[in-house]
């Protein structure tokens, strides 16, 4: 279980910096509402639809920004993004907090150490799956 969380956390580190920000207190209605998103944005962000109402404004804006970059992504990046969103929504709040915490810790490391850990993680994916197509995109 711990290895699974670490793996998901590292995947998310490389894929979703938007997930790392702590939730912000909400004093005003949070925009954009799901109904205010364009149909293409709704299609890209569909895995997040059920919890869109619980996202704070900062996270919503970050997801909208990710959705705006989606058409420019390579097909394999689009598939990876969709898979990672689907993984994220399956996590419990505690698992999400752990992933966010690991992301913050990861970003405190030196660039050299981050690169080394990322290479180790990618190699573990290659060893586990037997091919290199399982590697997360470098950012």
Residue 122's pLDDT is what? Answer: 87
Residue 21 maps to a domain: yes
* 126 in any annotated domain: yes
User: Of 90, 122, 93, 111, which is closest to residue 11 (Cα–Cα)?
Assistant: 122
pTM: 0.64
Task: Report the C-alpha gap between 49 and 39 in whole angstroms.
Answer: 12
pLDDT tens digits, residue range 50-60?
999 999 999 99
139 within domain boundaries? no
Q: Is residue 11 in some structural domain?
A: yes
Residue 84 lies in a domain: yes
Using CA atoms, how far apart are residues 40 and 103, in angstroms rounded to an integer? Answer: 29
Tell me the two tokens of residue 129: 């799956």
The Cα–Cα gap between 35 and 32 comes to 8
CB-based contact 107:92 (threshold 8 Å):
no
- The answer to whether residue 16 sits within a structural domain is yes
Query: Which range (35-49, 73-87, 115-129) has the least confidence?
Result: 115-129
Tell whether the model's pLDDT for residue 91 goes beyond 90.
yes
Question: Are the C-beta atoms of 100 and 108 separated by less than 8 Å?
Answer: no
**Domain assignment of residue 127, yes or no:** yes
- Cβ contact 69:58 at 8 Å: no
Number of separate domains in the chain: 1
Q: What whole-number distance in Å separates Cα of residue 108 and Cα of residue 63?
A: 23
Band of pLDDT at residue 49, cut at 50, 70 and 90: very high
131 falls in which pLDDT band (50, 70, 90)? low
Query: Domain range holding 55?
Result: 2-134
Residue 21: pLDDT above 80? Answer: no
């Amino acid at each position: 279980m711990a290895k699974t969380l670490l793996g998901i956390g590292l995947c998310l580190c490389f894929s979703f910096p938007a997930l790392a920000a702590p939730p912000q207190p909400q004093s005003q209605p949070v925009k954009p509402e799901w109904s205010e998103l364009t149909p293409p944005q709704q299609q890209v962000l569909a895995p997040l639809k059920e919890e869109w109402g619980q996202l704070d404004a900062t996270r919503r804006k970050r997801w909208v920004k990710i959705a705006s970059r989606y058409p420019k992504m390579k097909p394999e990046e689009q598939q990876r993004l969709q898979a990672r969103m689907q993984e994220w929504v399956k996590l419990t709040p505690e698992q999400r907090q752990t992933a966010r915490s690991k992301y913050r810790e990861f970003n405190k490391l030196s660039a050299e150490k981050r690169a080394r850990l990322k290479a180790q993680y990618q190699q573990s994916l290659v060893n586990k799956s037997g091919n290199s197509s399982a590697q997360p995109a470098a950012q």
